[in-house]
Amino acid sequence: MAINTIEFLLFAMAVCAIYFVVPKKVKWIVLLLASYIYYFIASGKLTVFLIITTISIYLLALALNKVDDKTKKLCKDLEKDEKKKLKAKANKKKKWLVVVAILINFGILLTLKYANFFGGNINSLLSKIGINLTIPKFNFILPLGISYYTLQAISYVIDVYRGKYKADKNLGRVALFVSFFPQMTEGPIGRYDDLAMQLYEPHKFNYNNAKFGIQLMVWGFFKKMVIADRAGIFVNTVFADFAQYHGIEIFMAVALYTIQIYAEFSGCIDIVRGLAQVLGINMAENFRRPFFSKSVQEFWRRWHITLGTWLKDYVFYPVSFSGACIKLTEKAKKLGKFVAKFVPAAFALFFVWFGNGLWHGASWKYVFYGLYYYIIMMLGLLFEPLFNKIITKLNINKEAWWYKLIQMTRTTLFVLIGMLIFRAHRLKDAFTMFMSMLNMDNIGMLANKALYSIGIKPKDFVVIAVGVLIMLIIAIIQEKGVNIRESISKKNIFFRWILYYAIVLAILIFGIYGPGYVAANFIYGQF
């Protein structure tokens, strides 16, 4: 039951209707039952892994609090040195509880998602050194959203360990936090202190929430069905037989894929955030106009925000404050301030971007995808002093519009290369396509109908272009700090309803759906 189907809309409408008519005390139960029904429809017996994750983090978080409470009680009558020893012992025990939580949940994820990847690479290594041992391949089916809910679950246990909040004694509330159905397809990755109580608290029907939520959902459907699914046809055609294309054809495919994945991913997030808002629940923002970024670092602060913040909080900071990184920093200080800043950042960010790449998929191309951005960022940090000197010497105004445009163009080109790596079937294919793209002897095809007839018709390009222009205009307005939905609500009723009908009609007329059409799977849904 993909979220871009009639079945999902009917399911969501039924959940909302039931939620707002049942008594306050059972509203959260409605959401929990709906979430498990939705999940069981999508994953069947694989729901057991969701249950294991939920129960494991629930029990281990309670165990963390039990250790804290016991330590606090025992420390009352102890001397300072004895308190210190007892707290150190307790902290060691707590660390092991966190390790158990990580081993259970990442163990499930690694087994189901990465077993064949690691096994295949081990087999290859063993054969090269002459060892006749073969690790068998497994035909595991991934439960829906396992990469998302696993990170969400782990963050809960780590936050309890860090003392950010107490472990929740309500198993149902923990279960709802992990399984809330709108976020299962593509996130966003929520945090317990932001989301759990919102899910548990009863919400009355609110007209503004319903209005703004539906608006956001419709906008998401527009991006997905009108822009992303149409662009995807061209993209799939070229990437499926890339050897038949070169130059501007491949560049167009990469550009359209970038449009496709943004429109689709952000569209999905808009749909689920809109649905949650109808229910009175505010989910985390996952995109903030990434193509206005003036650097790759900024791009990743605006793209898939919840994954980026998760990696920052639970990978970057722990690695940065680890004993190994502290020792490395001390050694780097001897070589100057810049080295002392660069080396620990490079050390910690390696794990962030290796993890980012591997999280996206069990393939070396995804690992390289993450390391590609890591290398760009490291080169940026390495040459930053030189660039600043050049800019100062040339008396360039960093706030000038043309300079910002150059920065955004440069960043977009880096992103396009990253998207090529991401979309290609293999890393080798990505390299071949990149080299082929450099041969622009067919750039004249920009004025040729043949270019706009690859998989789709020229009129489809017009629809895509208009859709992208609409997205761009809205993004520019938002970048200026304007809340689009609130701004629309202040317009007269005639204007509002003309606008509502226009976008709904655009979806009905230009959306990719209908008899013989299979709803296109969400790209990030596979991760």
CA atoms within 13 A on the CB side of 16: 21
Which of 423, 447, 479 represents a domain boundary (last residue)?
423
- Distance (Å, whole) CA 53 – CA 101: 9
- Distance (Å, whole) CA 406 – CA 338: 27
Q: What is the pLDDT along the chain (527 residues), one digit of tens a residue?
A: 788 888 999 999 999 999 999 999 999 999 999 999 999 999 999 999 999 999 999 999 999 999 988 888 888 777 777 888 888 898 999 999 999 999 999 999 999 999 988 888 888 888 888 888 788 888 888 899 999 999 999 999 999 999 999 999 999 999 999 999 999 989 899 999 999 999 999 999 999 999 999 999 999 999 999 999 999 999 999 999 999 999 999 999 999 999 999 999 999 999 999 999 999 999 999 999 999 999 999 999 999 999 999 999 999 999 999 999 999 988 888 888 888 889 999 999 999 999 999 999 889 999 999 999 999 999 999 998 889 899 989 898 888 999 999 999 999 999 999 999 999 999 999 999 999 999 999 999 998 888 999 999 999 999 999 999 999 999 999 999 999 999 998 889 889 999 999 999 999 999 886 554 555 666 665 55
Instruction: Residue 476: count other Cβ atoms within 10 Å of its Cβ.
Output: 12
Residue 251 lies in a domain: yes
Judgement on whether residues 222 and 169 belong to the same structural domain of the protein = no
Helical H segments across 361-457, by residue range: 364-393, 401-423, 427-437
Judgement on whether residues 108 and 155 belong to the same structural domain of the protein = yes
Judgement on whether residues 39 and 187 belong to the same structural domain of the protein = yes
Instruction: Please give the tally of structural domains in the chain.
Output: 3
**Which of 54, 81, 285 has the alpha carbon at shortest distance from 174?**
54
- Distance (Å, whole) CA 95 – CA 156: 14
Judgement on whether residues 53 and 194 belong to the same structural domain of the protein = yes
Judgement on whether residues 196 and 217 belong to the same structural domain of the protein = no
What are the C-alpha distances in Å from 281 to residues 266, 336, 392, 429, 476? 18, 49, 48, 43, 27
Judgement on whether residues 131 and 36 belong to the same structural domain of the protein = yes
| Region label for 514, one of left (φ > 0), alpha (ψ between -120 and 50) or beta (otherwise) | left
Q: Mapping DSSP to helix (H, G, I), strand (E, B) and coil, where does residue 287 land?
A: strand
Judgement on whether residues 385 and 333 belong to the same structural domain of the protein = yes
Is residue 226 within 8 Å of 507, Cβ to Cβ? yes
- Domain with 455, as residue range(s), is 207-283+436-527
Q: Which tokens hold the place of 122?
A: 């081990």
pTM of the model: 0.93
Judgement on whether residues 380 and 450 belong to the same structural domain of the protein = no
List the beta bridge partners of residue 303: 287
Is residue 367 within 8 Å of 358, Cβ to Cβ? yes
